[in-house]
């Protein structure tokens, strides 16, 4: 099952020990780790995200579930990105793109207090024991959530409903007096803006899902190439 994993530790030493354990579990075939990073919460509340993914730049996962969760945990204010990460826009993060519940983000945020450090990863695991056993031994507090399927139906239904409203307004406008026509046109313009906004959001979610699928393929290819090079 494809899951988002967050393990909160007391310090960076333990967090990086957790990262090494995650990589080892991946090498053993117990899990597949698609992406991972370490988040440090500073005493002043700012956050540093250090990219530690061996299989490619974090930029390949920006806009995906992993990138969105990193931004949500870092927060739009005071987000300091580690030198290895490059870019990440907390303000542009969309909870829907993260494909996890708001309660999950809240639970993790409560645990990720100042001076705490978190290992964040997107993994595929058939059972939870391998990860739990290793992380608990290091002293980590574990949070995990299965990724929900990306849903476009709600947006399509919203757009359809708004288009129906707009069609009715246009029909009414055709029969209205001049003063009423202007008011109806104003409402039509506002509704059209909302429709375009919904269509844009639906497009962004589809593109994010496509990027995520492509990023995972790249990770798997990189792992296969590394294994082949090691064997030769």
pLDDT, averaged per 10 consecutive residues of the chain (232 residues), comes to 91 94 92 88 86 48 68 54 36 54 83 94 89 95 77 63 84 85 87 84 74 74 79 76
Cα(140)–Cα(124) distance, rounded to whole angstroms?
19
Same-domain pairing of 62 and 13: yes
Torsion sign, CA atoms 47, 52, 57, 60: negative
Q: Which domain holds residue 141?
A: 2-148
Single residue among 129, 148, 167 that ends a domain in this structure: 148
Single residue among 123, 148, 173 that ends a domain in this structure: 148
Same-domain pairing of 159 and 141: no
Cα(94)–Cα(81) distance, rounded to whole angstroms?
18
Same-domain pairing of 138 and 163: no
DSSP letter for each residue of 37-99: EEEEE-TTS-EEEEE--TTS-GGGGTTSHHHHHHHHHH-SSSEEE-TTT----GGG--HHHHT
Q: Which pTM value belongs to this model? A: 0.65
Same-domain pairing of 215 and 229: yes
Query: Is residue 165 classed exposed, middle or buried when 0-12, 13-18 and 19+ CB atoms within 10 A define those classes?
Result: middle
The pLDDT, as a whole number, for residue 5 is: 92
Same-domain pairing of 158 and 91: no
Domains held by the chain: number: 2
Same-domain pairing of 63 and 106: yes
Cα(19)–Cα(50) distance, rounded to whole angstroms?
12
Q: Cβ distance 11 to 112 under 8 Å?
A: no
Same-domain pairing of 9 and 72: yes
Same-domain pairing of 127 and 32: yes
Same-domain pairing of 9 and 124: yes
Single residue among 120, 148, 176 that ends a domain in this structure: 148
The pLDDT, as a whole number, for residue 57 is: 40
Q: Cβ distance 52 to 38 under 8 Å?
A: yes
Same-domain pairing of 97 and 14: yes
């Amino acid at each position: 099952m494809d899951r988002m994993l967050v393990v909160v530790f007391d310090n960076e030493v333990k967090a990086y020990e957790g990262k090494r354990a995650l990589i080892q579990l991946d090498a053993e075939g117990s899990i597949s780790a698609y992406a991972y990073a370490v988040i440090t919460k500073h005493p002043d509340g700012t956050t540093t995200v250090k990219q530690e993914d061996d299989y490619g730049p974090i930029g390949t996962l920006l806009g995906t579930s992993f990138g969105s969760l990193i931004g949500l945990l870092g927060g739009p204010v005071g987000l300091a990105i580690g030198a290895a990460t490059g870019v990440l826009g907390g303000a542009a993060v969309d909870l829907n793109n993260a494909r996890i519940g708001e309660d999950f983000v809240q639970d993790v945020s409560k645990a990720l207090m100042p001076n705490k450090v978190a290992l964040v990863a997107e993994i595929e695991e058939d059972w939870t024991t391998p990860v739990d056993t290793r992380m608990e031994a290091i002293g980590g507090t574990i949070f995990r959530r299965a990724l929900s399927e990306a849903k476009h139906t709600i947006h399509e239904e919203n757009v359809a409903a708004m288009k129906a409203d707009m069609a009715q307004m246009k029909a009414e406008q055709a029969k209205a007096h001049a003063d009423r026509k202007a008011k109806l046109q104003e409402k039509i313009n506002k509704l059209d803006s909302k429709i375009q906004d919904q269509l844009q959001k639906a497009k962004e979610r589809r593109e994010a899902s496509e990027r995520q699928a492509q990023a995972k393929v790249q990770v798997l290819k990189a792992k296969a190439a590394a294994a082949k090079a090691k064997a030769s």
